[in-house]
Amino acid sequence: MDNLTENIPINRIKTSRISELDFDNMKFGRVFTDHIFVLDYFDGQWQNPRLQPQGELHFSPKISAIHYGQSIFEGLKAYKRIDSESIMLFRPKENARRFAESAKRMCMPPVPENIFMQAITQLVLLDKAWIPKGENQFLYIRPVLFATDDYIGIRPSDNYCFVVFACPLGEPYYKEYINVKVEKKYARACAGGTGTAKSAGNYAGALYPAKLAQEQGFDQLLWTDAKEHQYIEESGTMNVMFRIDDTLITAPIGSTVLSGITRDSVLNIARSYGITIEERYLSVNELREAAKEGRLKEVFGTGTAVGIQKIGSVTLDDKKYVIPVSDKELSFAIKLDKALKNIIAGQTNDINKWMLEL
Ligand code: PMP
């Protein structure tokens, strides 16, 4: 297995499509690099790694990923340093670890860390011309693992496919401030469920309530616990943090909240700044009281796609609480965002060794 990814065969694209890329206008998830990495799992083993042109992979409509949702994914970023040609990944081994945990929860064979790392490294190096070089620009990498048994009985698949592809990005995912609604009818995850896995079904289940909220003018939902809808969990594809007075409160990682890598990084930086952190459930009542009393100073989401995303208003039981815009000097979100970006750009000492150079 160790040798599996040592010499990955490359089927190069005949003519690169990079001239079609408008580096000044890169939309999320629309334009993909020239190649993809593919690895199959059959006869109980990972086999046949390859790099091939971006394009179709052919599967039967019977594959179990489609019917029963044995499908997981990850998201991470590669950056080109402004002042050199160095290519850096942000905490990729954390994605490898989470991918393996998601696989375990969905009864799939985990992709070994060395294979995950090689797949990403080889794809990014092959398509490095696609990595934009500029402030807030990066290559978004999407590893995905799905069940490919051509059989419609319900049981764990025997065959799987691991694919990695990537897209260059340069625009913010959302506008500067987003408006969110506390969701008290639908649930994203429940205790004992699959909320901590990055499994496809979690996202499918969230689409309908998110669509209803969007029709009401909201950008995202703040999910609450499935049982009582009293405790805030997370938001869309972000973990969420509340600053009440000078304390930063965020839901603990349990069986309903995804273990965000940005969340962990932001908490780590916040701790180093001496900010008081409480990893506990914030109740909707406490949120409402803090907002009414003017003690709710900031709300923001954290996630790979968004980085740190400021939340401008929270609507709770049809009452909209506008979060006052923080003074630039005093804002936790701005301070933490700057610190994180400086580490990524190599402008601060990366004491935690989060950046991996390829
Ligand atoms: N929660 C959910 C449900 C997500 O999909 C994501 C995105 N991976 C996050 C939180 C944030 O996690 P990360 O910081 O690792 O991107």
Residue 352, pLDDT score: 96
For residue 188, the ligand 1 atom closest to its alpha carbon is 3
- CA-closest residue to ligand 1 atom 10: 238
Question: How much distance in Å is there from the Cα of 72 to the middle of ligand 1?
Answer: 13
Residue 266, pLDDT score: 98
Q: Are 267 and 325 in contact (CB under 8 A)?
A: no
Question: How much distance in Å is there from the Cα of 236 to the middle of ligand 1?
Answer: 8
> What number is the average pLDDT over the span 174-197?
94
Q: Which of 16-30, 140-154, 344-358 has the lowest mean pLDDT?
A: 16-30
Q: Are 185 and 229 in contact (CB under 8 A)?
A: yes
Q: Give me 282's structure tokens.
A: 């914030």
The pLDDT of residue 6 is above 80? no
Please, which pLDDT band fits residue 82 given cuts at 50, 70 and 90?
confident
> What number is the average pLDDT over the span 30-52?
95
> What number is the average pLDDT over the span 68-77?
97
The pLDDT of residue 143 is above 90? yes
Calculate the average pLDDT of the chain: 94
> What number is the average pLDDT over the span 186-214?
96
The pLDDT of residue 211 is above 90? yes
Question: How much distance in Å is there from the Cα of 150 to the middle of ligand 1?
Answer: 31
For residue 263, the ligand 1 atom closest to its alpha carbon is 14
- Number of C-beta neighbours around residue 208 at 10 A: 10
> What number is the average pLDDT over the span 262-288?
97
Please, which pLDDT band fits residue 255 given cuts at 50, 70 and 90?
confident
Question: How much distance in Å is there from the Cα of 144 to the middle of ligand 1?
Answer: 15
The superfamily (CATH) of domain 177-345 is D-amino Acid Aminotransferase, subunit A, domain 2 (3.20.10.10)
Question: How much distance in Å is there from the Cα of 301 to the middle of ligand 1?
Answer: 10
> What number is the average pLDDT over the span 236-264?
95
For the chain, what percent of residues have pLDDT higher than 90?
Answer: 84
Question: How much distance in Å is there from the Cα of 328 to the middle of ligand 1?
Answer: 26
Q: 196: which residues sit within 8 A by CB, 6+ positions away? A: 101, 102, 105, 189, 253, 254, 255, 256, 257, 258, 259
Residue 2, pLDDT score: 56
Break the chain into its structural domains and give their ranges.
18-169, 177-345
For residue 74, the ligand 1 atom closest to its alpha carbon is 8
> What number is the average pLDDT over the span 113-141?
94
CATH code, 18-169: 3.30.470.10
**∠ Cα 107 186 281 (to 5°):** 80
The pLDDT of residue 134 is above 80? yes
- CA-closest residue to ligand 1 atom 7: 237
Q: Ligand 1 pocket test: pick from 140, 194, 238, 340 the residue with the most ligand atoms within 8 Å of its Cβ.
A: 238
Q: Give me 29's structure tokens.
A: 């998830």
Please, which pLDDT band fits residue 1 given cuts at 50, 70 and 90?
very low
Give the pocket of ligand 1 (CB within 6 Å).
75, 234, 237-239, 258, 260-263, 302-304
Q: Are 73 and 198 in contact (CB under 8 A)?
A: yes
Q: Ligand 1 pocket test: pick from 239, 340, 354 the residue with the most ligand atoms within 8 Å of its Cβ.
A: 239
* Range list of β-strands (E), the chain: 35-42, 45-53, 71-73, 76-80, 87-90, 138-147, 160-169, 177-182, 220-222, 234-235, 238-244, 247-250, 276-279, 296-303, 307-316, 319-322, 355-357
β-sheet bridge partners, residue 39: 162
> What number is the average pLDDT over the span 184-213?
96
- Number of C-beta neighbours around residue 82 at 10 A: 13
